[in-house]
Amino acid sequence: MSLLADLIASLDSGALKVVDLTQPLGPQTPVIGLPPMFASSPGVSIDVISRYDGKGPGWYWNTIRMGEHTGTHFDAPVHWITGKDLADNRCDTIPARRFVGPACVIDVTAEVAKNEDFLLMPDHVTAWEKQHGTIPRGAWVLLRTGWSKRTDPARFLNVKADGPHSPGFHRSTSELLAKDRDVLGVGVETVGTDAGQAGTFDPPFSNHATMHGNGKFGLASLCNLDQLPATGAVVIAAPLKIVDGSGSPLRVLAISPAPPDQPQRPAES
Ligand code: 23J
Ligand code: MN
């Protein structure tokens, strides 16, 4: 059988499954807060154009308005000043091949349960690699923190008197992943790819500065990472082809082997 026919047969048999890593997108979607001297991003608004009524008797459609960096979304290198002059750095010019890569899922749920400001260190990556093998070039590195289980927006954003608190990457880890491992980018369950406190880091928002300065991408507000194996899944994360776009909400899909402990059932029709 051909590779692609085999893929479809495996999806039909349940040997492979499609895992949706995307949060619902709507007016309730939480958006990142920045210090008050900076402009903020609007939340989602959706307005009906017509709904089988006088404005369109046979059809329903809406207009949508939101910031590019809203909900489950993609960060392009041009989003950050460090990546502003790189080639192929925006939503409409990144080659489509670069939206697809193997997933390496690093599970730090236990650490984050103890420390909501947890930062992934290079040692965590090398310990993960001892168990699962070296992160291959062109991988999506997904940080599984359990943060997407915070369904209450206040707990998800977790803003305190001194600003937001949520896990992320130490600058040296972002450098390891971007430069030494040459990943496609990193994906997180939190509202942005930097830790909540990263505005105070050197440089500020060090994961954005490092990833995008090296032409790498970000994926924020992912969910269902607990349905993926540490290795073996493939992630497809393709932003809207916004002209000169710095990022975009998107549907992030993983194609994953079915867990061995679960019986394989044919797909529902
Ligand atoms: C602008 C400024 C700081 C940050 C962000 C955007 C994001 O997290 C984002 O969505 O890219 S931290
Ligand atoms: Mn973003």
Ligand 2 mean position to 220 CA, how many Å? 7
Please write the tens of the pLDDT for every residue from 223-234: 999 999 999 999
Task: Verify cis geometry, omega within 30 degrees of 0, for the bond prior to 203.
Answer: yes
Does the structure show a pLDDT above 80 at 269? no
Give the closest ligand to the alpha carbon of residue 190.
1
Ligand 2 mean position to 13 CA, how many Å? 36
Q: Which position has the higher pLDDT, 124 or 266?
A: 124
Percentage of the residues of the chain whose pLDDT score is greater than 70 = 96
Structural contact between residues 199 and 191, judged by C-beta atoms closer than 8 angstroms: no
Give the closest ligand to the alpha carbon of residue 73.
2
Please write the tens of the pLDDT for every residue from 196-222: 999 999 999 999 999 999 999 999 999
> Any idea what DSSP says for residue 178?
I
Write the residue with the smallest CA distance to atom 2 of ligand 1: 34
By annotation, the residues acting in catalysis are 79
Does the structure show a pLDDT above 50 at 171? yes
Q: In this structure, is the dihedral angle defined by the CA atoms of residues 221, 224, 229 and 232, taken in order, positive or negative?
A: negative
203 touches ligand 1 (CB under 6 Å): no
**Angle value at C-alpha 108, between 75 and 181, nearest 5 degrees:** 55
How confident is the model at residue 156, as a pLDDT?
98
Q: How far apart are the first and last CA of the chain?
A: 23
The pTM score is 0.96
Q: What is the mean pLDDT of the chain?
A: 97
Tell me the C-alpha distance between 149 and 224, whole Å: 9
3-state SS, residue 105? strand
Ligand 1 pocket test, pick from 166, 205, 207 with the greatest ligand atom count within 8 Å of Cβ, gives 205
Does the structure show a pLDDT above 70 at 192? yes
Whole-number Cα distances in Å, 97 to 62, 191, 200, 235, 236: 31, 26, 35, 12, 10
Which positions ≥6 away from 57 have C-beta within 8 Å?
A: 50
205 touches ligand 1 (CB under 6 Å): yes
Tell me the C-alpha distance between 196 and 194, whole Å: 6
Does the structure show a pLDDT above 60 at 265? no
Does the structure show a pLDDT above 50 at 67? yes
Which positions ≥6 away from 29 have C-beta within 8 Å?
A: 23, 43, 44, 66, 70, 71
236 touches ligand 1 (CB under 6 Å): no
If you count them, how many residues does the chain have?
Answer: 269
